[in-house]
Amino acid sequence: MTKIAGGIFTSHVPGIGGAIAKGLQQDPYWKPFFDGFDPVHQWLAEEKPDVAVVFYNDHGLNFFLDKMPTFAIGAAAEYRHDDEGWGIAFQRPFAGHQDLSWHIIEQVVASEFDPVTCQSMLLDHAVAVPFELCWPGKEAFPLKVIPIAINTVQHPLPSPKRCYNLGQAVGRAIESWGGDEKIVVSGTGGLSHQLEGGRAGHINVDYDKFCLRNLAPDPEALLQHDTLDIVELAGSQGVEILNWIAARGAMSGSVRELASNYHIPISNTAAATVLLENSDKVHA
């Protein structure tokens, strides 16, 4: 059985990429956020996962409103970031794992999901920023990626329950793969924030803490709200928590939080980084 060792959950604010480019990790504004990655780096150095399965939302680099998939799964040999309109393009390519991508596609379709499959796909800051945060520097990323995009742009969005169930199906697919690769799952985006409208700048500490408190022990608590409830609670981009919900759904073992960092503000966002362990046995 292929093992999912854990989950990394993090905000993906584009400004983080700018801060990395300018080397501002120790700047007083940014340091409390970047410090949240120390335990993630420690864990990654110990676990050395071979593949990251990343649930994220595209912000208009790969997908436009002409064709907007609710769920899309990457099946490319290699992925790249590119200029999203602000002149910044991260240079390091992301190696794909085509065999495992197609296995996941086959298994989730057998589980009655209907994803779009992408043999060519640009990955925007929602994958690139978390990768830069987890594996800083210039060396090639030490693992492969399977990107899974969830529509958080154009309503109707998939329900939190649907995203959780997709994550469960992806988790079952990974575990049935049979290869000896070690897997880490990831959900990116959030937490509460809203960029547009008269309520721009909205942040909801209580809702964020509810999510952070329940993510490991009781993720189904996050399914009690529908997508518009979450928009109202967490802001119109806070609904990116759907990516976290899906990634958590993929973790079927005994899940416990190893580290968590919640920091406001990063840009207009309540930022968070969470590291979860996924074990066969309950930790004694």
- Please report, as ranges, the residues that interact with other proteins according to CB under 8 A: 15, 32, 35-36, 38-39, 42-43, 59-61, 64-66, 82-87, 153-156, 194-203, 205, 228, 231-232, 235-237, 257-265, 267-268, 270, 275
Catalytic-labelled residue, pool 12, 59, 103, 193: 193
Contact 134, 188 (CB under 8 A): no
Is residue 270 classed as helix, strand or coil in its secondary structure?
strand
Tell me which DSSP letter residue 222 carries: G
Contact 265, 203 (CB under 8 A): yes
> Toward other proteins, which CB reaches closer, 82 or 220?
82
Q: Strands 71-74 and 144-150: what pairing?
A: antiparallel
Catalytic site residue 103? no
Q: Of 184, 179, 171, which Cα lies nearest the Cα of 219? A: 171
Smallest separation (angstroms) from other proteins to the CB of 175? 25
> Toward other proteins, which CB reaches closer, 196 or 280?
196
Q: Strands 182-188 and 51-56: what pairing?
A: parallel
Smallest separation (angstroms) from other proteins to the CB of 156? 7
Q: Using CA atoms, how far apart are residues 85 and 105, in angstroms rounded to an integer? A: 31
Catalytic-labelled residue, pool 12, 97, 103, 125: 125
Smallest separation (angstroms) from other proteins to the CB of 128? 14
Cβ count within 10 A of residue 188: 25
> Toward other proteins, which CB reaches closer, 86 or 220?
86
Smallest separation (angstroms) from other proteins to the CB of 15? 8
Smallest separation (angstroms) from other proteins to the CB of 232? 5
Cβ count within 10 A of residue 141: 16
> Toward other proteins, which CB reaches closer, 179 or 265?
265
> Toward other proteins, which CB reaches closer, 181 or 257?
257
Cβ count within 10 A of residue 67: 8
Catalytic site residue 155? no
Catalytic residues: 125, 193
